[in-house]
Amino acid sequence: MTTDGPADAGMDPKRDSTAPAERVDSRGRRCPLPIIDLARAFGSVPPGGTITLWADDPAAGPDVAAWCRLRGQELVAARPLPAGGEEFVIRRLA
């Protein structure tokens, strides 16, 4: 898992729910590890905040959608990554 990069430098998402998302990089990990990575990192996201998951496991799309539905969270976006895999943006609703 990573939370680095220029987009989130110097911002504390616990103080500002509009701050850039934490990023969880699960590329190269297979089911169920991307969802486990997401669930572990999700606890640090404040209500209204977002988290971004990068995954290249073909099962990640359906798994993330199901996880959001079962946990009552919002899947904001799913889009391909230029280097392969997908990026999922999840908003914490509660």
pLDDT tens by residue, 47-73: 999 999 999 999 999 999 999 999 999
Asked whether the beta carbons of 58 and 34 are under 8 A apart, the reply is no
What is the chain's Cα-based Rg?
A: 12
pTM attached to this predicted model: 0.78
Q: Average pLDDT of the chain?
A: 84
13: Cβ–Cβ under 8 A, 6 or more apart, which residues?
A: 19, 20, 21, 22, 44, 45, 46, 49
Q: How many CB atoms neighbour CB 60 within 10 A?
A: 27
Q: Is the pLDDT of residue 2 over 60?
A: no
